[in-house]
């Protein structure tokens, strides 16, 4: 006798199985999931988390419903059905009621089926999102369940709500289908391997990955859900920090030039040229730099400080240390105007010191260029200031020891790297930014650098008074201007310039210039206009008139954002201020308040403002600290839209973690990452094998960053 055994093997799926092996997913659905949500494999699906949860153990009363509630459920009796509207507007309306209220439910499709299935006079469980329509609350297309069926299912607490794109909804792939997919997946006994080392899970009392993922989709209660989120956020932040910590550690293996000598240049400057006392913050930062210079290891440092906090001076003194030790130094600025200004300031600072300083930009003449190239190669040129022109291949130094990059956020990581190759031994690098970056973002964007902060302004500065005004008070604003000008002060009036609407913006600017010229007529008043579309020569002339104090008013676009330094200018008017971002407003405001007079910044806006615009304006009026402003900016815009974050090459889009909110967790992740890398940067220890494996996986995924190299 032959026995035929047929084994029914349950279909085993793994993390990397294509999504169509999940029960209930056909080819069409698999295609849609891939094209709309980039869900291709099981792991993509299990990492697609609900954006919100609703508590299915809680029943609302109809009288409690309002349109700011998310999805909710309630028990009510169907009182009657009626049909409203004609043609495509035709809809089925059911009135339902509980002890103390009634509510209308609306269906546009499948109306016959609803009417047949759910009887008038019977109580059901309804589930949906309350909306405000025609002066009252209603719910469109609610889910309905029999009370008995609902109770049989024993809904446990929270239920996940997933974002579902329209294209899927049209194919009837809705919330229930999604929830069903997760039920199927977890039924198969899918193995989710741990991705964090055991000692971290123990030390930090973290939930296992497997439990965390299940809780994310089917939370048993609020506490477990929070632990699950905590665990997953930690992991996201931790691996980014681990990558950065490793890069930082590897960098520390690069030998650096030794600048042991504090020589003639520095001492002369310090004793003779420097006419004021350094602030404590400046002293502290200089100490940090000197420590790096004397360590024999290459410096990679970020110098953060608000506009006017005295970064340039610190940079200059550090450059003098390089010069004292026989090395060349350079300073790279993002624009020609800024490079020019650095050049002028530095020359003033250095007055009668015998030191060879030159400037190289895109508009440097050929002859001058040749001199610069020659002096760079024979070592006569000690300090070079310039723009991107500095990183061109043909610019060769004899012995470049120190590089300062101003306004780093406009340069990418790759450009930073290019400067390294300018010498056999990479130069020390200091990046300066006047756009304060919130701590959490700095840790992520610049996590591979050491960070110095100048958090103190030179003494005697008066805080800029910031006011918000609308068109109706324009006359009063003009009166203020007149009285300031009568005191001998100068005024900036800035108009927004946004690429998409350039034409209109220039019209605004020109109309503005005309009306200002009428309100402030020549020859009593002298008004200049400066914008990017002018010929360089005319622009330069306008700027010079203002810088020399011959023009009272400068009407401009944001070209003045970086660049001009006119201590006598005490009023900044920003037109259509609601159209500027916070960091830009802060930068603009930094153009005034540079002298000892009381300065003003007046933000002109239209009367009606969006919520975010209002928040930005209020923030400017209430705060002057750039770091505080940056924190608000991060909360309003999210890290992806913060200036410079796109070019950084560091992933900042997390699935769950949020740089604006998870600062403490980020610090913890960073601390742990640094500890690990300190002990074992190659992840060779037994207990670190999992880190190695995970980093390799991340490198292969589209996590793509330039940091893990
Ligand atoms: P930042 O580069 O941070 O915007 P700067 O270096 O341009 O700031 O300094 C702004 C102004 O303050 C300059 O005119 C500079 O000479 C002056 N300054 C810098 N440090 C001090 C100080 N310790 N005391 C007084 N003035 C200072
Ligand atoms: Mg500066």
Nearest alpha carbon, ligand 1 atom 25: 458
Contacts of 43 (CB under 8 A, 6+ apart): 15, 16
**Any atom of ligand 1 within 6 Å of the Cβ of 676:** no
**Any atom of ligand 1 within 6 Å of the Cβ of 438:** no
Nearest alpha carbon, ligand 1 atom 17: 310
**Any atom of ligand 1 within 6 Å of the Cβ of 282:** yes
**Any atom of ligand 1 within 6 Å of the Cβ of 399:** no
Buried b (16+ CB within 10 A) or exposed e, 460-493: eeeebebebbeeeeeeebeebbeebbeeebbbbb
Contacts of 158 (CB under 8 A, 6+ apart): 53, 54, 55, 56, 219, 221, 222, 225
Please say whether the beta carbons of 629 and 619 come within 8 A.
yes
Please tell me the distance between residue 308's alpha carbon and the centre of ligand 2 in angstroms: 6
**Any atom of ligand 1 within 6 Å of the Cβ of 563:** no
Write the pLDDT tens digit of every residue in 646-672.
545 555 668 888 887 888 899 999 999
Closest ligand relative to 337 C-alpha: 2
The 3-state DSSP class for residue 402 equals strand
Distance between CA atoms of residues 130 and 96, nearest Å: 14
φ and ψ at 202, to 5 degrees?
Answer: -65, -55
Please say whether the beta carbons of 450 and 301 come within 8 A.
yes
The minimum-distance atom of ligand 1 relative to the CA of 312 is: 6
Please tell me the distance between residue 622's alpha carbon and the centre of ligand 2 in angstroms: 24
Please tell me the distance between residue 311's alpha carbon and the centre of ligand 1 in angstroms: 7
Closest ligand relative to 276 C-alpha: 1
Please tell me the distance between residue 584's alpha carbon and the centre of ligand 2 in angstroms: 15
Contacts of 457 (CB under 8 A, 6+ apart): 279, 306, 308, 309, 310
* Residues, beta carbon < 5 Å, ion ligand 2: 312
Mutual orientation of helices 222-251 and 663-679 as an angle, nearest 10°? 50
Which long-range contacts does 606-609 make (Cβ < 8 Å, 24+ apart)? 606/470, 606/471, 606/576, 606/578, 607/470, 607/471, 607/472, 609/578
Residue to substitute in 276, 281, 313, 457 for testing ligand 1 pocket (most ligand atoms within 8 angstroms of CB)? 313
**Any atom of ligand 1 within 6 Å of the Cβ of 308:** yes
Distance between CA atoms of residues 311 and 323, nearest Å: 18
**Any atom of ligand 1 within 6 Å of the Cβ of 307:** yes
Nearest alpha carbon, ligand 1 atom 23: 278
Which residues of the chain fall short of a pLDDT of 50?
Answer: 1, 6, 8-9, 647, 703-709
Query: Which residue do the tokens 């610019």 mark?
Result: 395
Query: Which residue do the tokens 């404590």 mark?
Result: 280
Nearest alpha carbon, ligand 1 atom 24: 458
Contacts of 416 (CB under 8 A, 6+ apart): 405, 408, 429, 431
Q: Which two tokens stand for residue 392?
A: 């061109």
Q: Which two tokens stand for residue 186?
A: 């977890």
Please tell me the distance between residue 469's alpha carbon and the centre of ligand 2 in angstroms: 29
Question: How many other CB atoms sit within 10 Å of the CB of residue 518?
Answer: 8
**Any atom of ligand 1 within 6 Å of the Cβ of 453:** no
**Any atom of ligand 1 within 6 Å of the Cβ of 281:** no
pTM of the model: 0.69
Nearest alpha carbon, ligand 1 atom 6: 310
Please say whether the beta carbons of 526 and 552 come within 8 A.
yes
pLDDT, residue 411, reads 55
pLDDT, residue 599, reads 94
> Which among 140, 144, 96 has a CA at the least distance from the CA of 116?
144
Residue to substitute in 273, 305, 310, 452 for testing ligand 1 pocket (most ligand atoms within 8 angstroms of CB)? 310
pLDDT, residue 58, reads 83
The DSSP bridge partners found for residue 430 are 301, 404
pLDDT, residue 651, reads 56
**Any atom of ligand 1 within 6 Å of the Cβ of 276:** yes
Please tell me the distance between residue 432's alpha carbon and the centre of ligand 2 in angstroms: 9
Mutual orientation of helices 689-700 and 222-251 as an angle, nearest 10°? 90
Domains, the chain, in order of start with CATH, read: 57-154 (2.40.50.140), 264-293+310-433 (3.40.50.300), 465-623 (3.40.50.300)
Please tell me the distance between residue 433's alpha carbon and the centre of ligand 2 in angstroms: 9
The minimum-distance atom of ligand 1 relative to the CA of 315 is: 6
Please tell me the distance between residue 587's alpha carbon and the centre of ligand 1 in angstroms: 15
> Which among 18, 27, 91, 585 has a CA at the least distance from the CA of 307?
585
**Any atom of ligand 1 within 6 Å of the Cβ of 305:** yes
**Any atom of ligand 1 within 6 Å of the Cβ of 274:** no
Mutual orientation of helices 582-589 and 611-622 as an angle, nearest 10°? 30
The minimum-distance atom of ligand 1 relative to the CA of 460 is: 25
Nearest alpha carbon, ligand 1 atom 5: 310
Question: How many other CB atoms sit within 10 Å of the CB of residue 9?
Answer: 6
Please say whether the beta carbons of 584 and 561 come within 8 A.
yes
The full DSSP string for 216-264 is HHS-SSHHHHHHHHHHHHHHHHHHHHHHHHHHHHHHTTSB--------H
Q: What is the CA radius of gyration of the chain?
A: 32
Please say whether the beta carbons of 323 and 264 come within 8 A.
no
Residue to substitute in 306, 308, 342, 344 for testing ligand 1 pocket (most ligand atoms within 8 angstroms of CB)? 308
């Amino acid at each position: 006798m032959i026995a035929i055994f047929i084994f029914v093997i349950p279909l085993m799926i793994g993390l990397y199985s294509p999504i169509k092996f999940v029960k209930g997913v056909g080819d069409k659905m698999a295609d849609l999931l891939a094209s709309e949500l980039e869900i291709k494999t099981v792991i993509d699906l299990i990492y697609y988390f609900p954006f919100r949860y609703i508590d299915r153990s809680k029943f609302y009363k109809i009288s409690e419903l309002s349109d700011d509630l998310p999805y909710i459920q309630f028990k009510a009796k169907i009182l009657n059905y009626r049909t409203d509207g004609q043609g495509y507007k035709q809809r089925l309306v059911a009135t339902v009621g509980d002890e103390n209220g009634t509510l209308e439910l609306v269906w546009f499709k499948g109306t016959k089926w609803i009417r047949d299935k759910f009887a008038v006079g019977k109580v059901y469980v309804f589930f949906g999102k309350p909306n405000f329509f025609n002066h009252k609350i209603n719910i469109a297309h609610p889910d309905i369940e029999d009370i008995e069926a609902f109770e049989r299912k024993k809904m446990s607490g929270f239920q996940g709500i997933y974002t579902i794109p329209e294209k899927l909804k049209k194919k009837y792939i809705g919330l229930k289908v999604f929830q069903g997919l997760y039920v199927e997946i977890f039924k198969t006994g899918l193995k989710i391997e741990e991705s964090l080392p055991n000692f971290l899970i123990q030390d930090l009392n973290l939930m296992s990955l497997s439990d965390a993922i299940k809780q994310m989709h089917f939370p048993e209660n609020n506490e477990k859900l929070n632990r699950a989120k905590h665990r997953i956020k930690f992991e996201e932040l931790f691996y980014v920090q681990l990558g950065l910590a490793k890069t930082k550690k590897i960098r520390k293996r690069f030998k650096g030039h030794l600048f042991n000598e504090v020589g003639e240049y520095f001492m002369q400057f310090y004793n003779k040229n420097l006419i004021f006392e350094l602030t404590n913050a400046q002293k502290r930062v200089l100490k940090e730099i000197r420590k790096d210079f004397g360590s024999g290891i290459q410096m990679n440092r970020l110098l953060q400080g608000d506009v006017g906090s005295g970064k340039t001076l610190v940079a200059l003194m550090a450059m003098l240390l390089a010069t004292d030790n026989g090395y060349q130094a350079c300073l790279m600025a993002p624009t020609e105007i800024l490079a020019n200004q650095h050049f002028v300031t530095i020359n003033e600072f250095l007055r009668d010191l015998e030191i060879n300083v030159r400037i190289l930009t895109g508009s440097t003449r050929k002859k001058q260029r040749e001199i610069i190239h020659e002096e760079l190669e024979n070592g006569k040129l000690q300090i070079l200031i310039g723009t991107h022109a500095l990183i061109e291949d043909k610019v060769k130094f004899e012995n470049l020891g120190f590089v300062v990059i101003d306004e780093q956020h406009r340069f990418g990581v790759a450009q930073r790297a290019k400067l390294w190759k300018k010498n056999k031994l990479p130069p020390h690098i200091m990046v300066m930014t006047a756009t304060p970056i919130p701590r959490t973002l700095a840790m992520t964007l610049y996590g591979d650098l050491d960070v110095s902060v100048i958090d103190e302004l030179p003494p005697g500065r008066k805080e800029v008074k910031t006011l918000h005004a609308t068109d109706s008070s324009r006359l009063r604003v003009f009166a203020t201007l007149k009285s300031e000008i009568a005191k001998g002060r100068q005024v900036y009036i800035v108009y927004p310039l946004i690429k998409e609407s350039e034409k209109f913006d220039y019209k605004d600017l020109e109309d503005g210039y005309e009306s200002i010229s009428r309100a402030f007529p020549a020859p009593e008043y002298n008004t200049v206009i400066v914008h990017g579309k002018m010929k360089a020569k005319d622009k330069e002339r306008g700027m010079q008139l203002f810088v020399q104090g011959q023009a009272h008013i400068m009407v401009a676009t944001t070209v003045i954002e970086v660049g001009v330094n006119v201590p006598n200018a005490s009023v900044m008017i920003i037109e259509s201020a609601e159209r500027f971002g916070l960091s830009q407003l802060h930068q603009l405001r930094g153009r005034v308040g540079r002298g000892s007079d009381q300065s003003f910044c007046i933000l002109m806006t239209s009367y009606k403002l969006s919520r975010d615009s209002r928040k930005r304006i209020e923030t400017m009026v209430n705060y002057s600290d750039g770091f505080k402003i940056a924190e608000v900016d991060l909360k309003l815009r999210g890290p992806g839209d913060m200036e410079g974050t796109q070019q950084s090459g560091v992933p900042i889009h997390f699935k769950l973690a949020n740089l604006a909110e998870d600062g403490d967790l980020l610090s913890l992740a960073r601390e742990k990452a640094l500890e690990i890398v300190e002990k074992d940067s190659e992840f060779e220890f037994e207990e670190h094998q999992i880190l190695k494996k995970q980093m390799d996986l991340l490198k292969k995924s589209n996590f793509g960053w330039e940091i893990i190299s």
